[in-house]
Structure 1
Amino acid sequence: MIRYPILAEKTEIGITAPSSGIPKEMHGLLESSIQKLKDKGYSVVSGETAWTQEKARSASAKKRAEEFNEMMRDESIGLIFPPWGGELLIETLEYIDFDNIREKWVLGYSDISLLLLVITLKTGIATAHGTSLLDLRGEESDETTGMWESVLSNKEGDTVIQYSSERYQEDWDFDNPTPHIFNLTEETHWKTVSGHDGKFEGRLLGGCMDTIRHLIGTPFGNVQSFKEGHIPDEPILWYLENCEMSIVELRRTLVHMKLAGWFKDASAIMFGRSSSDIPVEDYTVQDVYQDLSEELGIPIVYDIDCGHMPPQITFINGAYAEVEVKAGNGMVSQTFR
């Protein structure tokens, strides 16, 4: 059984940085993002960690965890929204009070996806992989990014449908943001290893492989226990993205995940776009996906709207999803059951 939080109208949003905070010279971006939330009618409470950054993290592991635990205990907060990702969230896991996680949304991606996955695996509470707070500071949001509110506002039993974007951003150009922040210049095209259209379904789990791979073999990454305790006899539909790994490191990571049993009884795997998909010798990312598809005997879709080449579909860890890929376009239906 999966438990789903609800994003109530005008709820309070808690901003904390369990990974990286915002350095002083960029505080204006965070202030703009907070104001956009207030303009939508949300009240906002910000922790200290969101405003500090030193030695590749916002604060000590204990301080980051304590601030997160405090916001999780605060009944007035309905959504915990880190400003962005980072590098060292894994340091906080041993200090987070997972026994007292409340049913409230946590939203983010990149390093934040590690925390999202752990919460869902250990508690059965759904978490939201999607936009970061700083990507909402524009005058408007593109259609794909802007779906985060609609998705998180669904109630148990509801179904929400999202579609692939029309265009995506190939490179970050921080000095020339558009009204919706991203420079969406490239045509989106979802692809399959088989080259054919397809439909598949299952319980969603996933995140940034650079970070979530380090959960393997720890008490925080027990996929089998999650399956037995919360989704017995149901397949997992994985969504994954590669931020900085080389092609061969990606291959090693996927084999590691396979050997650890993460892909046992999976229905399909979906991969986000990546700027790191540079061939090593004559070994390409398409080769990686082809090898994995043949080994697992399941469909593989790639270049979906997920990860560090925005925009992003909002994927809910634990939700039951039906995905269709047709003529390069994607449809994701998620049911909160």
Structure 2
Amino acid sequence: MIRYPILEKGATIGVTAPSSGVQSQLHELVKTAGNRLEERGFNVVCGETVWTQDKAKSAPAKVRAAELNQMMADEKIDLIIPPWGGELLIEMLEYLDFHRLQDKWILGYSDISLLMLAITLKTGIATAHGTNLADLRGEYSDETTAMWQTVLSTKRNESILQHSSEKYQKEWKHDTPSPYVFHLTEETYWKTVDSNRVHIKGRLLGGCVDVIRHLVGTPYGDVRTFSEKFIEGESIIWYLENCELSTTDLRRSLVQMKLAGWFENCSGIMFGRSPANMPVDNYTAEDVYQELSEELRIPIIYDIDCGHVPPQITFVNGAYAEVESENGKGRVFQTFK
């Protein structure tokens, strides 16, 4: 059975950096985001790892793990939101005390998705793939991003509906800051491999392919045991996104997941918009999706609101979902059962 944390009004948010911390010249981003959250009624507590960054990490692996373990054990902290992702979170997995993790939300994406997938697979605690702390620093949040709070406040056996965004951000414009953080200029259009309406049901699992692929073959990536122990063999919907991989590297990664059994009993796969997907010898991301769909005989939806091209729908690892895509629009109906 999946264990769902619940976000209450006036909750305390713990900010720790299990991957990358924040360089001194960018500390103001964290402070601004913290102030915004406090204006909305939350309390914010920052760990020491947030303020340091060197050699592609906030701190040594054991230090990062110790701070996360402490925040997960602290009954005064209700939700954990890292400042952002990074590169080397995988180093600290072996030092996490999975057996003592309390039921509290972790929210984030990018390298943080590796942590969240590992926690859900090993413990059955639901985790939330969505915005990071830095992206909550705006005076306002767009409708898609703002849903994180509603989703995390959903009670057990209740449901929450989210829709595809109206527009997405094509590129960052740091020289012209937006009160919404993002510059949403491009029309969102969800696509399917066969261009038909898609309706899929199953338990959600996913994250950034660049990093979660490294869980394959480790004690933290045992999808089969998770399926048997926590969801009684129900079908799985994977949501995936590509941050930096070429199309051939993406293909290799997906084949590895397939060979490892990650796509057994899979009812469908969703791929987020990508800033990468560089074609190799005319081999495109659409080719990758087409081949995977034919091999697994499942529908594939792509260019969804997930990952490094914002905004993002909040997907809950472990939740039961019904996903629909038709005429470029999408809806995600999650039930916490």
In the superposition, the TM-score normalised over structure 1's length comes to 0.99
Q: Aligned letter for 1:64? A: R
RMSD: 0.6
Deviation, structure 1 residue 275: 1.5
1:47 CA displacement: 0.3
- Where 1:286 maps in the other structure, the secondary structure is helix
Q: Report the alpha carbon displacement of residue 198 of structure 1 after superposing the two structures with TM.
A: 1.3
The equivalent residue for 1:88 is 88
- 1:118 and 1:269 mapped to 2: Cα distance? 19
Letter in 1 for 2:280: V
Counterpart of 1:87, as a letter, is E
Please state if 1:179 is matched with 2:179.
Answer: yes
Rounded to whole Å, the distance in 1 between the matches of 2:150 and 2:63 is 32
Name 1:51's counterpart in structure 2. 51
Counterpart residue number, 2:225: 225
User: Could you report, residue by residue, the CA deviation over 1:105-134 in whole angstroms, capped at 9, with x for unpaired residues?
Assistant: 000000000000001000000000000000
Residue by residue over 1:38-88, the C-alpha shift from the partner in whole angstroms, topping out at 9 and shown as x without a partner, is 101111111000111000000000000000000001001110110000000
* Partner in structure 1 of residue 263 of structure 2: 263
Q: Give 1:138's aligned residue.
A: 138
Residues of 2 paired with 1:267 and 1:245: CA distance?
25
- Structure 2 distance, partners of 1:204, 1:161, is 14
One-letter code of the match for 1:77? I
> TM-score normalised to the size of structure 2?
0.99
What is the CA distance between 1:177 and its match in structure 2? Answer: 2.1
| 1:127 maps onto 2:109 in alignment | no
Secondary structure at the counterpart of residue 250 of structure 2? helix
Measured in 1, the distance between the counterparts of 2:320 and 2:328 equals 22
Residue segments in structure 1 that go unaligned for 5+ positions in a row: none
Q: 1:249 — aligned with what?
A: 249
CA contact (8 A) 2:169 2:310 kept: yes
Q: State the match for 2:334 in structure 1.
A: 334
Give the secondary-structure state (helix, strand or coil) at the position aligned to 2:217: coil
Tell me, what secondary structure is at the counterpart of 2:5? coil
Alignment of 1:1-337 (within 5 A): 1-337=1-337
Bigger mean CA offset, 326-335 vs 167-176:
167-176
Q: Tell me, what secondary structure is at the counterpart of 2:210?
A: helix
Query: What is the one-letter code of the residue matched to 1:90?
Result: I
**By how many angstroms is 1:175 displaced?**
2.0
Name the CA distance, whole Å, in 1 between partners of 2:221 and 2:4.
20
Alpha-carbon separation, structure 2, partners of 1:278 and 1:88: 23
1:280 Cα deviation after fit: 1.0
* Cα drift, residue 233 of structure 1: 2.5
For 1:135, what is the secondary structure of its paired residue?
helix
**Alignment check: 8 A CA contact 2:245 2:278 kept:** no
SS state at 2:253 partner: helix
CA contact (8 A) 2:170 2:186 kept: yes
SS at match of 2:196: coil
Q: Percentage identity across aligned positions?
A: 63
Stretches (4+) displaced over 6 A = none
Deviations, residues 187-217 of structure 1 (Å, cap 9, x unaligned): 1000000111110110000000000000000
Which one-letter code corresponds to 1:116 in the other structure? M
Residue 6 of structure 1 aligns to a residue whose secondary structure is coil
The CA deviation at 1:278 is 2.4
Unpaired stretches in structure 2, ≥5 consecutive residues: none
Task: Write the deviation string for residues 164-198 of structure 1: whole angstroms up to 9, x where unpaired.
Answer: 00000111122222111001111100000011111
Instruction: Provide the C-alpha distance between the structure 1 equivalents of 2:43 and 2:198, rounded to a whole number of angstroms.
Output: 42
Task: Determine the C-alpha separation between the residues in 2 that align with 1:125 and 1:320.
Answer: 13
Aligned-partner SS, 2:266: coil
Q: Structure 2 CA distance, aligned partners of 1:84 and 1:279?
A: 28
